Structure 1
Amino acid sequence: MVSLSDLPLRDDLRGMTPYGAPQDAVRYALNVNENTHPIPEDVARDIVESLARAVLGANRYPDREFSELRTAFAGYLGHGLDADQIWAANGSNEIIQHVLQAFGGPGRRVLGFPPTYSMHPIIAAGTGTEWVTAERDAGYRISPETAVAAVERTDPDLVFLCAPNNPTGTPLPIETIEAVYAASRGMVFVDEAYAEFMPDEVPSALTLLPGRERLIVSRTMSKAFAFAGVRVGYLAADAAVTDALRLVRLPYHLSALTQAAALAALRHAPEMLAMVDDIRGQRDRLLAELPALGYRAHESQANFVLFDGVADPHATFRALRERDILIRDVGLPGALRVTAGTEEETSYFLAALAELGAGGAH
C-alpha cells in the first residue's frame, strides 16, 4: 500500500483535506442543514411511481438537455424565466463545479467572503481556480461599500456570494449584490441554497437577472424540498450562460431517475414547501430560546442558527454527541451551528443544551 504523498498528485492539491462533515449514526442529526421532515406519503408514492416508469426506459440514455425538468424549474421560480435560462446538475455542488470549469480555471481567481460555504474554496481548488478572500463587516454582514472595495482590490474573474450566508445564516442585502455586479468585470454567482427560508418580503437575486448577463443565481432541492439524498441543484441565468455550461458538463450528466424524481417532487411543490413554515418556526424558536440559555444567536434567514458564547465548542459538541445529538462545529471561535429540525428534535436539543449549563460543556 502507498500513501497519498507517494502518488503524482497535482502540486496545488497536496496538503489539502476533503470535505468531511461527520456522518455518525445518531437519533438527532442536526449538523448538515438537512430538512429533517419526512417527504409526505402521497408525494413519495408519486415519486416512486415516476421512478418505476423511468426504469422501464433505463436501457436508453436520458434526455441530455433535461428539457422537461428545465421547464418545470422555470415555472417553479417564476420571474418571467424560461427553460433556456435554467441549468441543473447533481446537487448545487456540481452547479458550482460547472460554473468554475467554464469561467474559472488556471490563471483566474474567484473572490469569496469567509466564513462562507466550505465547498466554494474546495471546488475552486479542484478546478485550479485561485481563491481570494475579503473580510466581512461586523456580525458577518457585507455592505455594498465593503463588497465593492474587495472587488476593486482583487479584480476577480468571479465573485461568490451566499444569500443567506452559510454557515452564519446572515442575510445579504440585494443592494450588495447589485453593487458587486456593477463593480465587477466577471461573473457574479449568488448561492441561494436557503432562499425558501427567507422572509417572504425579502427579494431574491432572481429579481436582478434581467439585463445582467453575468449574474448567476443558484438553488437546490436539498433543503426546502427534503431532497438531499437525490442530489438536484439548479441555476437561473442568461441563456448564454447555459450555453457555456454545456461546454464543460459530462454527457447525460443527469440520470433519467434523477430527472423523474425531481419532476415528481416539483409537481407537489406546494405540499413539499408546506414544511418550510414549520422549519421557519423552529428556527425562530432557536433564535428566541438560545439567548435564554446564555448564548448569542446570530440572525438567520436559513434553516439553521449559529450561536456563540460557547466556552469550549469541541467539548460541547462531544457532550451533545453523547446525548445522541449531532450539530456542527464550523471552526468559528466560541461558536456552534444547529439545524432547525422538527419540534421534537428542537425540544430535545434545547433541553440537552440546558443540561450542560451556561456556556456548554467545559
Structure 2
Amino acid sequence: MRSPSIRCDVVIQVRDDLRAMDGYHSAQVDVDVRLNTNESPVPPPDGFRDAVAAEVSRVEWHRYPDRAATALRAAIAEMHDVDPAQIFVANGSNEVLQTILLAYAGPGRTVATFEPTYQMHAQIARVTGATVVEGERAADFSLDPDEVDRIIDAHDPHVVFLTSPNNPTGLVEPPERVQQLLDRATGLVVVDEAYAQFADWSALDLVSEERPLVVTRTFSKTWSMAGARLGYLIGPTWLVSELEKVVLPYHLDAVKQIAGRLALRYIGDMNERVQQLVAERSRISDAMGAMAIDVFPSGANFVLFRPQAADGKTVWQGLVDRSVLVRDCSSWPRLANCLRVTVGTPAENDAFLTALDATLSTLTD
C-alpha cells in the first residue's frame, strides 16, 4: 500500500491583521536576582500551602470543576463587600481582559488606550479584531484631560482602558480622571488595578449597576500566586452575565478555585507584605534619586527610572553582567532609555542598587 505523500511546502498564514504582530515577551536570563516581572518576592505563607495541599488531595479528578466558581466568587465578593453576581473570575487578569474584549470589542469596534501603558490591552484588543486608538500621555506620564476629551470626541470608543497604578510608569490616576472618563465615555470603561494594593485609592467605590465600569484585579502580585494564574473583575451584574456568552465552559480548574478561595484567609499576611514592599519602594527610589537618575513616582510594586548620563539598554546589560535582571523599556514608544525594576526583598534590592551604582560608575568614568 502506497503511503500518502506529506506536503512540506505549504505554510498556512494567520489572519492578515495578525501577520505583523509579535507575542508578549519578557526577557528570561539566568541571573541571581530577577526583578523584571513584578512578581511577589516571597512565596505564600506555609499555612496556605498546607491548606491547598489538603483540599487538592480530595479533588474529584474525574469530575468537571464548578463551572460558575461559586465558592471562589462568594469569597471574593465578601472581601469587597459586593454581590457574587458582580464577580467574574478567569485564568489570570489577561483572560479577564480577553473575555471583556471578546464581548464588547471585536471587528468594527474601537478600543482606546493612553500610552505608555500595559501592552496587553492593545495586543488583546487587536487579536479580537478591534481597532485600537492610542491617546498620548503628558511628558510626566500623567493623563491629560484635554487628550481624554480628544480621544472620546474623535473616536467614541466602545472600550476605554485606564491602568491605575499604570504599568510601566507606576502612576496612580487621580479619582477625577476616572470620573472624567465615566462622564464622557459612551462605552465601557475598564480600570486595570493589578497593583491596586500598593496605591492609596481604588476605583472600586465607583462600581455600580448604573455605570459601565469594571475594575480588574489579579492574585499574581500581593497574593504571591503568579504561578496559579488567577484574576477577576468587579462590575455590574448585567455585564458579568454577558461575559458568560464568550467564556469557554469549565475554563477555571478545580485547583485554581481552591487556591484562590484559601488565599483570602491570609489578608493580614498580604497587607503586611504590601507595607514592607511600599517601604522598600521608597528606599530604592530615594537611593536611585541620589545617583543622577530620573525616578518616576510609583504607586505599584515597581519603579520606572531613566539614567541621565547613560544609555538605558547599556545600563540594562551592565546590570545583567552583574547578575541582576530588570525590565528593559528603552525601546518602547515614549520610554526612551527607561528601565523598570520590581521591588524585591531587602537583600535583592541591595544587590540591585550595588549593581546599578557600579554600572553607572563604569559608564560615566
TM range (shorter): over 0.9
Q: Relative to 1, partners in 2 of residues 1:2 and 1:74: Cα closer, same or farther, differing over 3 Å?
A: farther
Distance in 2 (alpha carbons) for counterparts of 1:211 and 1:152: 25
- Aligned equivalent of 1:120: 121
Q: CA deviation at 1:352?
A: 0.7
Aligned to 1:262, the other structure's residue is in SS state: helix
Q: Relative to 1, partners in 2 of residues 1:2 and 1:315: Cα closer, same or farther, differing over 3 Å?
A: farther
- Aligned equivalent of 2:337: 334
- Aligned equivalent of 2:65: 62
Alignment of 1:143-292 (within 5 A): 143-199=144-200, 202=201, 204-292=202-290
Q: CA deviation at 1:211?
A: 4.7
CA contact (8 A) 2:190 2:213 kept: yes
Report the aligned-residue RMSD. 1.8
Q: Relative to 1, partners in 2 of residues 1:71 and 1:360: Cα closer, same or farther, differing over 3 Å?
A: farther
- Aligned equivalent of 1:7: 12
State the AA in 2 paired with 1:240: W
Deviations 1:183-226, CA, capped at 9 Å, x for gaps: 11110000000000013xx2x11111125431010000101101
Distance in 2 (alpha carbons) for counterparts of 1:82 and 1:25: 45
- Paired residues, what number? 354
Q: Which consecutive unaligned segments of at least 5 residues does structure 1 have? A: none
Q: CA deviation at 1:2?
A: 6.8
Q: Does 1:314 align with 2:317?
A: no
Alignment of 1:26-41 (within 5 A): 26-41=31-46
CA contact (8 A) 1:294 1:358 kept: no
**Identity level (%):** 39
Distance in 2 (alpha carbons) for counterparts of 1:359 and 1:94: 43
Q: Relative to 1, partners in 2 of residues 1:65 and 1:360: Cα closer, same or farther, differing over 3 Å?
A: farther
- Aligned equivalent of 2:322: 323
CA contact (8 A) 1:40 1:272 kept: no
- Aligned equivalent of 1:98: 99
Aligned to 1:138, the other structure's residue is in SS state: coil
Distance in 1 (alpha carbons) for counterparts of 2:8 and 2:80: 49
Q: Which consecutive unaligned segments of at least 5 residues does structure 2 have? A: 1-6
CA contact (8 A) 1:34 1:223 kept: yes
Greater CA drift, 189-198 or 352-361: 352-361
Q: Normalised by the size of structure 1, how large is the TM-score?
A: 0.94
Q: CA deviation at 1:75?
A: 1.4
Deviations 1:137-166, CA, capped at 9 Å, x for gaps: 231001434322321122111100001100
Q: Normalised by the size of structure 2, how large is the TM-score?
A: 0.93
CA contact (8 A) 1:265 1:272 kept: no
Alignment of 1:74-93 (within 5 A): 74-78=77-81, 81-93=82-94
State the AA in 1 paired with 2:199: M
Q: Does 1:346 align with 2:346?
A: no
Q: CA deviation at 1:360?
A: 5.4
Distance in 2 (alpha carbons) for counterparts of 1:119 and 1:25: 25
- Aligned equivalent of 2:3: none
Distance in 2 (alpha carbons) for counterparts of 1:361 and 1:270: 45
Runs of 4+ displaced beyond 6 Å:
none
Q: CA deviation at 1:6?
A: 3.1
Aligned to 2:140, the other structure's residue is in SS state: helix
Aligned to 2:177, the other structure's residue is in SS state: helix
Distance in 2 (alpha carbons) for counterparts of 1:82 and 1:347: 44
Deviations 1:109-132, CA, capped at 9 Å, x for gaps: 100011100111111111111111
Q: CA deviation at 1:246?
A: 0.1
Q: Relative to 1, partners in 2 of residues 1:353 and 1:73: Cα closer, same or farther, differing over 3 Å?
A: same
Aligned to 1:20, the other structure's residue is in SS state: coil
Distance in 1 (alpha carbons) for counterparts of 2:52 and 2:276: 23
Aligned to 1:357, the other structure's residue is in SS state: helix
Deviations 1:4-25, CA, capped at 9 Å, x for gaps: x932210000021111101223
Distance in 2 (alpha carbons) for counterparts of 1:52 and 1:176: 47
Distance in 2 (alpha carbons) for counterparts of 1:299 and 1:147: 22
Greater CA drift, 58-67 or 260-269: 260-269
CA contact (8 A) 2:315 2:360 kept: no
Aligned to 2:136, the other structure's residue is in SS state: coil
Greater CA drift, 160-169 or 283-292: 283-292
Distance in 2 (alpha carbons) for counterparts of 1:182 and 1:241: 19
Distance in 1 (alpha carbons) for counterparts of 2:214 and 2:363: 41
State the AA in 2 paired with 1:59: H
CA contact (8 A) 1:143 1:173 kept: no
CA contact (8 A) 2:228 2:256 kept: yes
Q: CA deviation at 1:27?
A: 1.8
